[in-house]
Structure 1
Amino acid sequence: MNKEQINVLREVPEDQEVVMLNLLKYKDKVEETGLTGEASYKQYMKAAIPFFEKIDAEIIFFGRPLLTLIGPEDETLWDDMLLVKYKNQGEFFKMVSAEDYPAKLRERSLQDSRLIYCKSQTK
């Protein structure tokens, strides 16, 4: 995240839920541990769940994309995707800035990723 992106997210009203789409591409092997990136990410999720629970965030979906129905047929799919709903942007920032939040574990598990802020169109 760059400063401009952070500022845009901080401007989201406190009474608005924030949904984050995580697109994940795992490393084949994590040098520090010898684990696969997928196995290492599972460790991250286990360590991160208490942080989600502390702020009452909800994991809406965690799974693997299997097939592109509309779009380029030769496009490589992400390994996994994760949708997380937060009460508001403040709770998201509280979680990711918590002292023991396992951000390094997440980072070293991934070859590539996207974290995309999504806004509901139903409200």
Structure 2
Amino acid sequence: MKTYTSITEKQLSDFLKLPIAGSFQMINLLKFKGIIEEQGITGEEGYAEYMKAALPFFKATNAEIVYNGKPIYELIGPADTLEWDKILIVQYESKEEFIGMISHKAYPMEMRSRSLLDSRLILCANH
């Protein structure tokens, strides 16, 4: 099974070419690692540490966490399992603000990736 925990160069390049004007949302579908071997903590604990470290960057770019929750039941999908551990929706003011945030040398992107077994980051915009 192929998993995804970070943005590839191609995905970033394609994103930069998208004509996005104004604010947009990113849906984060997150599946945590059981244990982060090098730290001896759970992926969920590691992700909580990432969020604490990322919060100043969110505030500096006026990003807003619109939703932060845990799936509890799938009405459509496999009946015997939940695919994701957490769903997070973040609204960003602009593509430039988002790129500036994630490309800042101090942004804790590796903490996010290290905590996850799999993830999806889905761009959404109001129409």
- TM-score of the aligned structures, taking structure 2 as reference length: 0.86
Q: Percent identity?
A: 45
Matching residue of 2:54: 48
Q: 2:105 is matched with which residue?
A: 99
Give the alignment of 1:1-123 within 5 angstroms: 1-13=7-19, 15-74=21-80, 76-121=82-127
| 1:77 aligned partner, one-letter code | E
Figure out how many residues of one structure are paired with residues of the other and give that number. 121
Question: Shift in Å at residue 24 of structure 1?
Answer: 0.5
Deviation for aligned residue 1:2: 3.7
Does structure 1 conserve the Cα–Cα contact (< 8 Å) formed by 2:36 and 2:43?
yes
Letter of the 1:43 counterpart: E
CA deviations 1:25-52 (Å, max 9, x no partner) are: 0000001110000001000000000000
Deviation at 1:75, TM superposition (A): 5.0
Tell me the secondary structure at the aligned position of residue 46 of structure 1: helix
Partner SS for 1:60 = strand
Given the two structures, how large is their TM-score scaled by the length of structure 1?
0.89
User: Secondary structure of the residue that 2:117 maps to in structure 1?
Assistant: strand
Q: State the AA in 1 paired with 2:51.
A: M
What is the CA RMSD across the aligned residues, in angstroms? 1.6
CA distance in 2, matches of 1:72, 1:28: 21
Distance in 2 (CA, whole Å) between partners of 1:30 and 1:103 is: 15
Structure 2: stretches of 5+ with no match in the other structure: 1-6
Give unmatched runs, 5+ long, in structure 1. none
